[in-house]
Amino acid sequence: MATAYKFNLLERKKSAFIAVAVDFLNQYIRYILVATELVVLGVFFVKILLDQKIVDLKEGIDQKNQIIIAAAPLIQNNNRMAKKITEIETLLNNQKSTYALFTTVLDNVPSSIRIESFALENGKVNVSGATYNAIDIKKYEKRLKKILGKNSVVIKRVTIDAGKYTFDVQIKT
C-alpha cells in the first residue's frame, strides 16, 4: 500500500496579515493622507492670517510711536504756552485788582482835595494831598473805610500850613 502524502503549496497564514495590511493601506491611506493635508493646509492658512495680524499690529504700534515722537515738541510747546497763559492771567488779575483799588481811591476823593502824590509800595497805596477844609479829609477817610474796610485805611500825617491842610493816607491792599 502506498502512503499518501499531502503537500501544501499555499503560503502560510503569516503572510495573510501583511496582505491585509497592504490592502488596508491601499484602500484607506489615501483618505488619511488627504485629511492630513487638509489639516496641514488649514494650520498653514491660520498661521498666515495670524502672522499678517501680528505684522499689522506692529505697523500700527510703529505708526503710533511715530505720531508720539512727532507730537512731543507740539505738546511741550503747548505746555509752555499754557504756563505763559496762566502767568498772563495772574498778571492781568493783579492789574485788574490794582486798577480797581486805584479807581476806588481816586473816585472817592472830594472835589476840594488836591492829590499831590499817589504811589504803590510794598502792597500799600500812599496818597498825599492838600485841602483848605479839614472836614474833607475826614470825609475821604470815612468813604475809603466804608468801601475798603476799617483796618485798611490809615491817616499817617496831617499838617497845617497857612490854612492849608496837607495829609498822607496809607491804604493796605
pLDDT digits (tens, 9 = 90+) for 21-60: 888 888 888 888 889 999 999 999 999 999 999 999 999 9
pLDDT digits (tens, 9 = 90+) for 131-172: 998 888 888 888 888 888 888 888 888 989 888 989 998 988
Mean pLDDT calculated for residue range 98-104? 85
Assigned C-alpha cell, 85: 497763559
Distance CA 120, CA 101 (A): 10
> Would you say residue 15 has pLDDT above 70?
no
Class of the 111-172 domain? alpha beta
Per-domain boundaries in the chain: 14-107, 111-172
Angle, alpha carbons 74-79-83 (nearest 5°): 145
Q: Which of 163, 155, 157, 168 is nearest to 132 (CA)?
A: 163
Note the pLDDT of residue 14.
56
- Distance, in Å, from the CA atom of 102 to the CA atom of 117, rounded to the nearest integer, reads 13
d(CA 90, CA 82): 12
